[in-house]
Structure 1
């Protein structure tokens, strides 16, 4: 299932795009959000349509902002420069979409860095919009808001897990109420640096990583009550996992969103991936080549969550923090005019 494959042509797009505007004036407010994560910068433009958002544009770029933080405690200048270059491109896209309401948010890499104030000032001047520095708990809350507002999930008891680059979040509740949440420094880049020293990873290293993660997650989530809840996985690792299992050569919203993965399937996939070297990991269908070195660590966090909580599978959602930011931006704008 996960043997060497030719990479899909073009850039892997996590969300389908609406037709580009032809200079028309928007009939409703358009919202643009910039999610400045530890591994990637994600961008979303949307407008309100009935009971949910209509996505107009979504882009994701790997910048590895966290890597300098892991070695020196500060954001590295080259990582900051990569991030700024991407944000300039995305600001231009927001202008083309005539998005008049904008919001940016930074997460684990920035909040853990000593030079975060300088970075936030630079980004604020570049984007000319509010830039939030989210705590782990705030990141969890907004992610849950974005996922649980999905009409397909609104009436269900949920346990949402988001594996980022620097941190991972677990949030329990039912829309719109959050019952409990937890954020841990178990992002896929941090897990890679903690456990992975070579590729192929191999069965022994994989087993050690899974056992350690399971114990840590089980202790951290001891106050959660997972029975009867749907475990919903979000983020780039989750959508790449769904694409890999289905061997999708390109994005397909209907096949990715709400795709279910059983625990046994996840275990077999991990075992197969642990036998592949990095070039083979980079050639897998649905897995961006820049994510290949952190793909197995990210899946390991999902699997260890299932093992720690005794659950038999998870459901993938294409929604996440950026959707929650759009909703927060919409509500704040609505409140300012009410």
Structure 2
């Protein structure tokens, strides 16, 4: 379990970076795409967020609207990628097959919706598996998806960003739990 206090930004890799010990597979220009300026450019943008966790593969595809985003596609599948990792230290072949099958569906959805800004992350199972690099390469080869293996700190930071609008600043500080299939992060948020 990881406890993180957020009074300032949580350190960790950002888009286009990868956790220590893992190779970077995403081209820098894809990770740092600059928005095109001009009338209506925001309305034409399509964003996707993909989270390959220890247990689940989740995808959201959204368009910006006034005051937020409108989800235009979503996907969630239990893949059990981390099955057996604690005992063996490696991702099992059948678990990788399940994950890649789900990721192929995600890739098709992102392409069909023309997602121009994409963030695809992998968490605990990939952080601890000794064969993670080979799996990440295989995912890229078979699906075109460039997964970033993020640290627990970055996972916690993203969890807080995802629920930030739900926190009531008049109540005071908050404790946010991110309970995943292979790790739990506790984040103390100072308001």
2:169 aligns with one of 141, 155, 160: 155
**1:76 and 2:92 equivalent?**
yes
Residue of structure 2 equivalent to 1:34: 50
Q: Alpha-carbon deviations, 1:182-214, whole Å to 9, x = none?
A: xxxxxxxxxxxxxxxxxxxxxxxxxxxxxxxxx
Residue of structure 2 equivalent to 1:46: 62
Name the CA distance, whole Å, in 2 between partners of 1:64 and 1:130: 20
Residue of structure 2 equivalent to 1:114: 130
Q: Secondary structure at the match of 2:154?
A: helix
> Does the CA-based 8 Å contact 2:103-2:143 persist in structure 1?
yes
Q: Secondary structure at the match of 2:188?
A: strand
Residue of structure 2 equivalent to 1:95: 111
Name the CA distance, whole Å, in 2 between partners of 1:28 and 1:153: 30
Mapping of residues 240-251 of structure 1, within 5 Å: none
Mapping of residues 180-259 of structure 1, within 5 Å: none
2:161 aligns with one of 128, 145, 155: 145
Q: Report the CA distance shift for 1:173/1:29 in structure 2 as closer, same or farther (over 3 A).
A: same
**1:173 and 2:189 equivalent?**
yes
Report how many aligned residue pairs link the two structures.
Answer: 148
**Quick one: higher RCO (CA 8 Å, sep 6+), 1 or 2?**
2
Name the CA distance, whole Å, in 1 between partners of 2:84 and 2:145: 25
**CA offset at residue 167 of structure 1?**
0.3
Gaps of 5+ in 2: 1-41
**CA offset at residue 163 of structure 1?**
1.0
Name the CA distance, whole Å, in 2 between partners of 1:127 and 1:47: 23
Q: Alpha-carbon deviations, 1:33-53, whole Å to 9, x = none?
A: 210000010011011112222
Name the CA distance, whole Å, in 1 between partners of 2:72 and 2:115: 10
After superposing on structure 2, the runs of 4+ consecutive aligned residues of structure 1 that deviate more than 4 Å are none
Q: Secondary structure at the match of 2:120?
A: strand
Bigger Rg over Cα: 1
> Does the CA-based 8 Å contact 2:43-2:63 persist in structure 1?
no
Name the CA distance, whole Å, in 1 between partners of 2:65 and 2:168: 17
**CA offset at residue 154 of structure 1?**
5.9
Q: Which has the higher strand share?
A: 2
> Does the CA-based 8 Å contact 2:48-2:110 persist in structure 1?
yes
Q: Alpha-carbon deviations, 1:75-100, whole Å to 9, x = none?
A: 00100000000110111111221212
Mapping of residues 316-327 of structure 1, within 5 Å: none
TM-score by length of 1: 0.41
Gaps of 5+ in 1: 1-25, 176-338
